[in-house]
């Protein structure tokens, strides 16, 4: 019945947001319009898709009242090295929220925000290594 779930994040700066996620290894798989200033971009990493949509398009094309600020959702990025991932995200312009710390005695977790202020959680399973 359902398939291919994804999350769409509303943004005020779609090109900067898309560049940020591409720098993390996401591959752009959809852009509307194909030429010129985008109103929607989909990016994929390991079979998971994130969409980016402009606030304006959400309002004018879909009659929504989008929120592009605040902690309304989180993009979770699993890794084998949270500290290196945290540092890489900082290099790409993410802002730190909480340094890496152990949670539940088996997960190492760090929190940041992307350039639009969306939360990012970087997670490492300490029980597998």
Q: Quick one: pLDDT at residue 74?
A: 83
| Residue 57 clears pLDDT 70, i.e. is over it | yes
Residue 99 belongs to some domain of the structure: yes
pTM (2 decimals)?
0.77
Mean local confidence (pLDDT), 26-38 = 93
Residue 105 belongs to some domain of the structure: yes
| Residue 39 clears pLDDT 90, i.e. is over it | yes
Q: Of 78, 13, 71, 68, which Cα lies nearest the Cα of 48?
A: 78
Domain count, the chain: 2
Indicate if 79 and 55 belong to the same structural domain: no
Select from 41, 62, 83 the last residue of a domain. 62
Q: Of 129, 88, 79, 82, which Cα lies nearest the Cα of 110?
A: 82
Select from 39, 62, 85 the last residue of a domain. 62
Distance CA 124, CA 129 (A): 10
Could you tell me the residue range of the domain that residue 51 belongs to?
Answer: 6-62
Residue 58 belongs to some domain of the structure: yes
| Residue 4 clears pLDDT 90, i.e. is over it | no
Per-residue pLDDT tens over the stretch 84-127: 999 999 999 999 999 999 988 888 999 999 988 888 989 999 99
Residue 68 belongs to some domain of the structure: no
Q: Is there a cis peptide before residue 34, judged by omega within 30 degrees of 0?
A: no
Residue 1 belongs to some domain of the structure: no
What CATH number does residue 57 fall under?
3.30.720.120
Dihedral sign, Cα of residue 59, residue 67, residue 53, residue 19: positive
Residue 67 belongs to some domain of the structure: no
Residue 109 belongs to some domain of the structure: yes
Per-residue pLDDT tens over the stretch 63-89: 878 876 677 778 889 999 999 999 999
């Amino acid at each position: 019945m359902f398939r291919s779930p994804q999350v769409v994040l509303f943004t005020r700066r779609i090109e900067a947001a898309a560049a940020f996620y591409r720098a993390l290894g996401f591959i752009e798989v959809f852009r509307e319009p194909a030429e010129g200033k985008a109103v929607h971009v989909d990016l994929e990493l390991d079979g998971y898709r994130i969409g980016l949509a402009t606030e304006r398009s959400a309002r004018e094309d879909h009659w929504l009242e989008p929120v592009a600020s605040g902690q309304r959702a989180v993009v979770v990025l699993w890794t084998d090295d949270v500290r290196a991932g945290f540092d890489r995200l900082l290099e790409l312009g993410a802002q730190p929220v909480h340094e890496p710390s152990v949670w539940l005695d088996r997960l190492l977790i760090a929190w940041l925000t992307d350039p639009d202020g969306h939360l990012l959680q970087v997670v490492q399973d300490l029980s597998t290594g």
